[in-house]
Structure 1
Amino acid sequence: MVRPPSLLSMTGFGRAEGQVGDMTWVWEARSVNGRNLDIKHKLPPGHDGFEPRIREACTKRFKRGSLQVSLSVKRNTVNQNPSVRINLDMIDFYLAEGSALIAAGQVLPPRLDGLLHLRGVLEAADTCEAVEVKASRDAAILEGLEAALDQLLAERQREGDGLFDVFTQNFSRIDELIRQADTAAEAQVLAIRDRVHKRAVELLGEVPFDPQRLAQEAAALALKSDVREELDRLAAHLTSARTLLNHGGDIGRKLDFLAQEFHRESNTLTTKAATIALTNIGLELKALVDQLKEQAANVE
């Protein structure tokens, strides 16, 4: 089977870091299983404008998965002016709004450390940064976003390569078990006939019985235990699964559906099994199908 170039898992991690001017930044991108593409982000204050770029970059690369993208930044403020200032107007506002409560003795006069925790009191200092400087810095940081997502994509592709090998081995074993079940199904008809005859002898002893009637009973039981239809459907599902795997791309939902179909047919086959050999084949087939379902859930 030719290996597809784009089979992706849904789990992975990407990271990129760098420095521009006095600011260091780190992007981290994590991905886990998800029914659809769910993008969450965590951005520091002042960088909310990156959200559209995050969504655009993620949707360009991925179709499914739960993604968490985060950015952390840090300024080197050694020997520099503080990067925050106290907004005295906001303090005056809070004091004015609470003056009646203070005068009535309902609350104690506020302390400075308490005031500093109020929204809007501490704010970024106005450094009169040139628009060109900020644009250049943001461009560099966003290049880091692309690098982190590229790393995440590469890791998901590596895991996808591993999943391809797992699926290939799984399908080969399922194919082998279908052939074994086909042989066991033929032997099952003879086993049922012999079992019915043996049971009749045990129950009737020396009493004569009609061989034709016995053959009819054996045929009815064999018909109920016939697994040819299940084997044909299993073979058809296997062909579809191999075609999907060879095609690659976002095949996770289709593989998951086929895994459910495999599960249904393997259950029926095991239920109809009338010999130990066919029962054991059915049980092993069910175990392989369970593995298939687990792995399919991690394919984009």
Structure 2
Amino acid sequence: MIQSMTAFARRDAHHDHTTLVWEIRSVNHRYLELTPRLPDAFRELEGPLRERCRVHLNRGKVEIGLRYQQQSASNQLHIDTALVAQLGDALDQIGAVLGPTAAINPADILRYPGVLQTPEQDFSSLVPAALALLDATLAELVEQRAREGAVLAQLLEDRLVGVTEQVARTRAALPRIQEALRQRLQRRVEEVVAQPDQDRLEQELVLLAQKMDVAEELDRLEAHVAEVRRTLKQGGHVGRRLDFLMQELNREANTLASKSIDTDTTQAAVELKVLIEQMREQVQNIE
């Protein structure tokens, strides 16, 4: 089974009056590039997070984010009354020097650094739950990548069928193409030379036919198609191998086009290049 590098997964869970939410986005990339986005309270999860990702993922640009929301009274705000008292004394001293001043808005006092506080929370008890939820989210991501990979495999197989049909059609036309070449060249020679040397003419025709022969390219195209199918059946992390095979298929299609002396062969080469390019685009998303 092959896997796509494009997927999204989201899982949430509720523990100790706190809701944890993991989101993972994955797109194609040459290597495995992880971008964790963790709250400061859960920074200690970065190491285990990277280890788990390397176990489940081989390639892709992966963004992993954790959010949490508390729903308990312990998250209520607190006012540092001692600091407020100190600020009040300071305001009284200022009033004694400058004389009566305008009334102070309590909201202005609240904006002073340190007056309004949130109690520090200990999230260490949530670490096991967060890691368990991460494992479930990664499993969902891998499952979605596998489903997308199955779709990509079918798209590739459909185009491999098209490549096979073009190769078979071209191979079946080779005898006709070679005979047409022979007759065309013989007519041109006879237009220039009244009595050509038939033995020499046959030798030249054989040499030219060898130069224009595309049977070897067709054989290699068939071999590459078989290897692509074998690789897809093998599954696993095969994206780089498939990308290499696409390059080889394209090379043979280019050679076929350069050797073409027939309209049908040229059209077949063009169609092959279109099919191969479509496969190459899809292969870029395979892990």
TM-score by length of 2: 0.82
Q: Quote the residue 2:209 is aligned against.
A: 222
The offset of 1:51, in angstroms, is 0.5
Q: 1:122 to 1:55 in 2, by over 3 A?
A: farther
1:40-73 Cα deviation digits (max 9, x unpaired) = 1101111101101211221121111111100111
3-state SS, counterpart of residue 41 of structure 2: coil
For the Cα contact (< 8 Å) 2:109–2:115, is it kept in 1?
no
3-state SS, counterpart of residue 285 of structure 2: coil
Q: 1:224 is aligned with what amino acid?
A: K
For residues 175 and 115 of structure 2, what CA distance do their matches in structure 1 show? 84
Q: 2:17 is aligned with what amino acid?
A: D
For residues 75 and 63 of structure 2, what CA distance do their matches in structure 1 show? 34
For residues 139 and 224 of structure 2, what CA distance do their matches in structure 1 show? 34
For the Cα contact (< 8 Å) 1:34–1:66, is it kept in 2?
yes
Tell me, yes or no, if structure 1 residue 289 matches structure 2 residue 276.
Answer: yes
Q: Quote the residue 1:37 is aligned against.
A: 32
The partner residue of 2:18 within 16, 20, 23 is: 23
For the Cα contact (< 8 Å) 1:192–1:221, is it kept in 2?
no
Q: Quote the residue 1:164 is aligned against.
A: 153
Q: Greater Rg, structure 1 or structure 2? A: 2
For the Cα contact (< 8 Å) 1:269–1:282, is it kept in 2?
yes
Q: 2:223 is aligned with what amino acid?
A: A
The offset of 1:176, in angstroms, is 2.1
Q: Taking every aligned residue pair, what percent have the same amino acid on both sides?
A: 35
Q: Quote the residue 1:9 is aligned against.
A: 4
Q: 1:114 to 1:83 in 2, by over 3 A?
A: closer
3-state SS, counterpart of residue 280 of structure 1: helix
The partner residue of 1:237 within 224, 228, 231 is: 224
TM-score by length of 1: 0.78
For residues 191 and 286 of structure 1, what CA distance do their matches in structure 2 show? 25
For the Cα contact (< 8 Å) 2:74–2:119, is it kept in 1?
no
For residues 46 and 283 of structure 1, what CA distance do their matches in structure 2 show? 58
For the Cα contact (< 8 Å) 1:256–1:293, is it kept in 2?
yes
For the Cα contact (< 8 Å) 1:25–1:73, is it kept in 2?
yes
1:61-108 Cα deviation digits (max 9, x unpaired) = 11111111001112236695327989x8xxxxxxxxxxxxxxxxxxxx
1:232-277 Cα deviation digits (max 9, x unpaired) = 2212212221211111111111111111000101100111011111
The offset of 1:216, in angstroms, is 2.7
For the Cα contact (< 8 Å) 1:262–1:289, is it kept in 2?
yes
For residues 149 and 272 of structure 2, what CA distance do their matches in structure 1 show? 24
Tell me, yes or no, if structure 1 residue 146 matches structure 2 residue 141.
Answer: no
For residues 9 and 263 of structure 2, what CA distance do their matches in structure 1 show? 50
Q: 1:85 to 1:147 in 2, by over 3 A?
A: farther
1:139-181 Cα deviation digits (max 9, x unpaired) = 2222221222111111101101101211222222222222222
Q: Quote the residue 2:63 is aligned against.
A: 68
Q: Quote the residue 1:125 is aligned against.
A: 119
For residues 183 and 43 of structure 2, what CA distance do their matches in structure 1 show? 77
**Higher normalized helix content (fraction of residues):** 2
Q: Quote the residue 1:188 is aligned against.
A: 177
For residues 117 and 285 of structure 2, what CA distance do their matches in structure 1 show? 44
RMSD: 2.7
Work out the number of aligned pairs and report it: 262
Q: 1:200 to 1:8 in 2, by over 3 A?
A: same
Q: 1:54 is aligned with what amino acid?
A: L
Q: 1:80 to 1:164 in 2, by over 3 A?
A: closer
1:170-195 Cα deviation digits (max 9, x unpaired) = 22222222222212222221121111
Q: 1:195 to 1:35 in 2, by over 3 A?
A: same
For residues 114 and 189 of structure 1, what CA distance do their matches in structure 2 show? 90
Which segments of 5 or more consecutive residues in structure 2 lack a partner in the other structure?
A: 84-107
1:89-134 Cα deviation digits (max 9, x unpaired) = xxxxxxxxxxxxxxxxxxxxxx989974xxx99975246x5xxxx4
Q: 2:23 is aligned with what amino acid?
A: E
Q: 1:216 to 1:114 in 2, by over 3 A?
A: farther
For the Cα contact (< 8 Å) 2:19–2:70, is it kept in 1?
yes
3-state SS, counterpart of residue 200 of structure 1: helix
Which segments of 5 or more consecutive residues in structure 1 lack a partner in the other structure?
A: 1-5, 89-110
3-state SS, counterpart of residue 47 of structure 1: helix
Q: 1:114 to 1:184 in 2, by over 3 A?
A: farther
